[in-house]
Amino acid sequence: MNFESNNKRIYLTIGISIIFILIIIQLLHIQIFDNSYKVSAQNNALRYETQYPVRGLILDRNDKILVGNKNTYDIIVTPYDAKNFDTTALCNTFSLDREKVREKFSYYRRYRTHIGYQQKTFLKQVNEKQYSLFIEQQEKFPGFSGIPRTTRKYPYNAGGNLLGYIAEVNPKFLKKHSEYTSGDYHGITGIEEICEKKLKGEKGYNIYLRDSKNKIQSHYKNGVFDQATIPGTNIHSTIDAELQNYGELLMQNKVGSIVAIDPSTGEVLSMVSSPGINVSILAEINKHYNQLIKDPLKPMFNRAVMSPQPPGSVFKIVNGLIAQQEGVLTPDMKYSCHDGYHTKGLTIGCHHHRSPLNMREAIMMSCNAYFCNVYRSILENPKYNEDFDKSFDVWANYVRSFGFGNNLNTDIPHEQKGFVPSSIYYDKIYGQGHWNAVSNLSLAIGQGELGCTPLHLANLCAIIANKGYYYIPHIIQYDETSDNQNINRFDKKHYCMVDSVYFDSIIDGMERAVNSNYGEGATAVIAKVKGLNICGKTGTAENPHGDEHSVFICFAPRKNPKIAIAVYIENAGFGSTWAAPIASLMTEKYLTREISPNRKWLENKILNANLLYKVLLGKKAINKKH
């Protein structure tokens, strides 16, 4: 027993000795060897001055600056030191209200125990002119100092919704993001949001020693413990600044969007949402935020990726491809049109044109009756034995393989996936076994329950240009760091379920629609550009709240396409009237960098057109209805 007791005593003594030695070593490390703890512990004798990094630039595909920086300053005050300052001079320098300055300092005095020695941000984003006046008179303002900051500037008045904006962090944000502190800024939308980690950089600080009277004496330890800022990383986007700017001009006083893609890479060349956020207010968006969110035209709403709408007649191309793959259509197969399609008391009208037509001619003329027959041939294919649930889901799977009804997994914020119905959807409406191809025949011409964004339509156009595949659309090309592995996913081809051999006849029809004098709505008159060989398709999407939506997709040139584009103008009317000329002007601008003299009349027509009243009339009709 004594032996065991002695052992326990020895072990206990050894254990206590080890713990004591460890504590001594740690205290020596903290108090003697580790000066960084000393810096922290003596905080009341030191002053930390935050140094803010320069935010990274956002550049276009040709290294032109889309978002740059300009110098501003925050005015900092230490209330305890701000005694007997010249209030009048301060107010005159910064155009301040004298009473508000008094109220702020009354607050500081009320809570002097807590904030008297703390640095407080007195003014934000002071411009260089005001700051120069402040420096000239600084002896009048004891306790005040300036900290360099930067704010955003925009060389091009374009791309507000695409570029996004930054704003000061709020308490709710800080609870979720401990790496930020009060006074920091972060990206809210667009590229500013998705590239925030790269763009923001890292803050630094300088440490100064105070004397017994709280006056700054010098850098602590000659600046050994100062931390330099790390500038934000520059981001290279896929956007063409000149094309984006041109698109914004064409879309003035119109509601809708433009999406242009390089089909060989999936890079987004231009993404216009109109009306959008004017870049002139992006740097001070907090001042205009309430006005923007109350605007009935929703300028903060990126229609290019957030507004699913019926695709209209451009969708006939998809049905033509599916029917060929399913073996129920050949390019030479003809169907008649008697000013529309008529069956079992149902009529889907069509404009007057010669009849019958083959598939190439039907695309050129945008014949509704032709594609109603095509759609029925898909769903009534004998191999499905009149099992419409099965045949419809086959059709829907084809459609989804073109990207419709899916989130395309882009790097574009707030992308909506749209809607492609399933057989279950119609079973719930009509009851299983109580519906057929006629029940949803409007899908033949891109109407009914289909919903897609302009991004989906531009991606469809890229698939056609590539004869069966697409690269995921994206707006970030690369950043100036060694690690760009996250964008490698954009290098992969994504194939639709239709073989490439079936695309040429479709493209023939699209080429004729633009370059033949017999195209629907004489599209050639306003969309044809000599030497570019544009291939396109018009669409007119029905709208229950006013005039139809004007839609057009095209790519060019036919061989080795460089651009695929979709234009969607809400409440504008026929696709050939507004969307087609805008798409053709954008295509010409990108491929030739200028508009030919013989098409200046068209450019001027589009630039001067104001279609906003049509949308506002539609909204009034909705409000009266409800």
**pLDDT winner (highest mean) among 42-46, 159-163, 537-541, 561-565:** 561-565
3-state SS track over 233-282: CCEEECCCHHHHHHHHHHCCCCCEEEEEEECCCCEEEEEEEECCCCHHHH
Per-residue pLDDT averaged across 245-257, rounded?
A: 95
- What pLDDT, on a 0 to 100 scale, did the predictor assign at position 214? 57
Confidence of residue 264 (pLDDT cuts 50, 70, 90): very high
Coil/strand/helix, residue 337: coil
Which is more confident, 182 or 484?
182
pLDDT level of residue 41 (50, 70, 90 thresholds): very low
User: What CATH architecture is 46-237?
Assistant: Alpha-Beta Complex (3.90)
Among all chains, which residue has been given the structure tokens 């508009």? 595
Look at 113-127, 225-239, 287-301, 499-513 and tell me which has the smallest mean pLDDT: 113-127
Q: What are phi and psi of 34, to 5 degrees?
A: -100, 95
In this prediction, residue 471 carries a pLDDT of 97
Arithmetic mean of pLDDT, 162-176: 88
| Among the ranges given (23-27, 281-285, 364-368), the one the predictor scored with the smallest mean pLDDT | 23-27
Whether 285 shows a pLDDT value over 80: the answer reads no
Query: How confident is residue 318, by pLDDT bands cut at 50, 70 and 90?
Result: very high
382 vs 38, residue with greater confidence:
382
- Position 17 scores a pLDDT of 72
Instruction: Name the CATH superfamily housing domain 241-287+301-473+498-625.
Output: DD-peptidase/beta-lactamase superfamily (3.40.710.10)
The reported pTM is: 0.86
pLDDT at 486: 55
Handedness of CA 57, 58, 63, 64 (dihedral sign): negative
Is 387's pLDDT higher than 90? yes
Given phi > 0 = left and psi -120 to 50 = alpha, else beta, which region is 404?
Answer: beta
**Among 255-269, 336-350, 434-448, which is the least confidently predicted range?**
336-350
The answer to whether 54 and 69 have CB atoms below 8 angstroms apart is: yes
| pLDDT, average across residues 471-483 | 86
Asked whether 496 and 468 are in contact (CB, 8 A), the reply is yes
Please, what is the average pLDDT of the chain? 87
The domain spans of the chain are 46-237, 241-287+301-473+498-625
109: Cβ–Cβ under 8 A, 6 or more apart, which residues? 79
| pLDDT score of 31 more than 60 | no
pLDDT band with cut points at 50, 70 and 90 for residue 118: confident
List the alpha helices (DSSP H) in 386-479: 388-401, 423-430, 454-466
- Cα separation of 568 and 573, whole Å? 11
Query: How much of the chain is in helix, strand and coil states, percent to nearest 5?
Result: 45, 20, 35
Decide if 169 contacts 295 (C-beta within 8 A).
no
Greater model confidence, 508 or 37: 508
- Per-residue model confidence as pLDDT tens digits over 192-209: 999 999 999 998 888 878
* Nearest C-alpha neighbor of 476 from the set 146, 193, 112: 193
pLDDT at residue 432, rounded to an integer: 93
Q: Which of 85-94, 283-292, 383-392, 481-490 shows the lowest mean pLDDT across its residues? A: 481-490
Q: What is the torsion angle, in degrees rounded to the nearest 10, for the CA atoms of residue 453, residue 456, residue 457 and residue 459?
A: 150
- Lowest-confidence segment of 352-356, 516-520, 580-584 by average pLDDT: 516-520
CA atoms of 54 and 46, how far apart (whole Å): 25
Pairing of strands 120-126, 65-77: antiparallel
The per-residue pLDDT for range 541-566, each reduced to its tens digit, is: 877 666 788 999 999 999 999 999 99
Check residue 223 and report its DSSP letter. G
Using CA atoms, how far residue 189 sits from 79, 163, 227, 278, 536, in Å, is 36, 7, 30, 14, 32
Q: 173 vs 333, which has greater pLDDT?
A: 333
Decide whether 46-237 matches 241-287+301-473+498-625 in CATH topology.
no
Q: Is 99 exposed, middle or buried (0-12, 13-18, 19+ CB in 10 A)?
A: exposed
Q: pLDDT per residue over 485-532, tens digit each?
A: 556 789 999 999 999 999 999 999 999 999 887 655 456 568 899 999
Supply 284's token pair: 């001070």
Please give the average per-residue pLDDT across 17-32, as a whole number: 66
Instruction: Provide the terminal-to-terminal Cα distance of the chain, rounded to the nearest Å.
Output: 93
The predicted structure's pLDDT at residue 34: 52
Q: Decide: residue 488, CB within 10 A, 0-12 exposed, 13-18 middle, 19+ buried.
A: exposed
Reported in sequence order, the residue ranges of 285-363 that DSSP labels E, i.e. its strands, are: 340-343, 346-349
